[in-house]
Structure 1
Amino acid sequence: MSLPAVRPLAGHNRISTQALTSVARAAAAEALGVAAQDVRADWNDDGGLLALSLVTPIAVPSLTSVLRDPHRVAALGGPIWDRAVAAKAQILRRVTELSGAQLSRVDIRISGASVTDGGRVR
């Protein structure tokens, strides 16, 4: 038994800038280990495609935990630079997957560090 063909309906589907921004903030938060509310996202036209600019902190282990276990940096994905570069592709892929929007690029500016595990040095 075959399913009947679905005929597209006339009309328009649009995703608001606010919805795209929410998706981008969530994708960046997921990729960089921070809260979505701490991520700022802006959009620009890039030759008909969307260019995403992000300003965000990035999760880092406490210095105490790195002294105890130097592999903590590698466990988070390596140095901040490497993680930001890898996050660009991940964010682009995730935003496209969730929204269907065509992005030309993702630019990330790291605005700070969010320490992921606390504890004071004594």
Structure 2
Amino acid sequence: MSEEAEATPSRLYSGHNRISTQALTSLAKAAAGAALGIPPHDVRADWSDDDGLLALSLVTPIKIPSLTAVVRDPARVPAFGGSIRERAIAARSEILTTVTELSGARLSRVDIRISGAHVTERGRVR
């Protein structure tokens, strides 16, 4: 075999790359935390097979303004990105895109179950 044949791109890049489940889970938790305004350690992420693609299930709290802050300034609700439902729907797409772009994994869907609330008195989100 000649030197040229050994230096083909397929020879230079042969092998396997694998991302561990732990690394994917950490990435998913970080993406969910960023999308929902909460610490990643508060997110629980589970993976399942969905006809050869990965399905991501998240159980997470969501950041919300305190009720007294909303009574004082009703504009805080839209400033947080809308209702809890609207924010969860928007977060699904953001999380799917982030995990796919950073890991290269092919996700079929992201399911989010809101398990609680992180109440904040100050600051606006987004």
**Normalization by structure 2: what TM-score?**
0.87
Counterpart CA distance in 2 for 1:102 and 1:110 is 24
1:29 to 28, 33, 41: 33
Instruction: Show the counterpart of 1:102.
Output: 106
SS in 2 for 1:29: helix
- Deviation, structure 1 residue 104: 0.2
Runs (5+) with no aligned partner, structure 1: 1-5
Instruction: Show the counterpart of 2:5.
Output: none
Counterpart CA distance in 1 for 2:121 and 2:18 is 41
- Deviation, structure 1 residue 48: 0.3
2:96 to 92, 97, 100: 92
**Pairwise mapping of residues 1-122 of structure 1 onto structure 2 (< 5 A)?**
7=9, 8-117=12-121
Displaced runs of 4+ in structure 1, greater than 4 A? none
Q: Which one has the bigger helix percentage?
A: 2
Larger radius of gyration: 2
Identity rate, percent: 69
- Deviation, structure 1 residue 97: 1.0
1:6-43: CA deviations, max 9, x gaps?
93421110000000000000000000000000000000
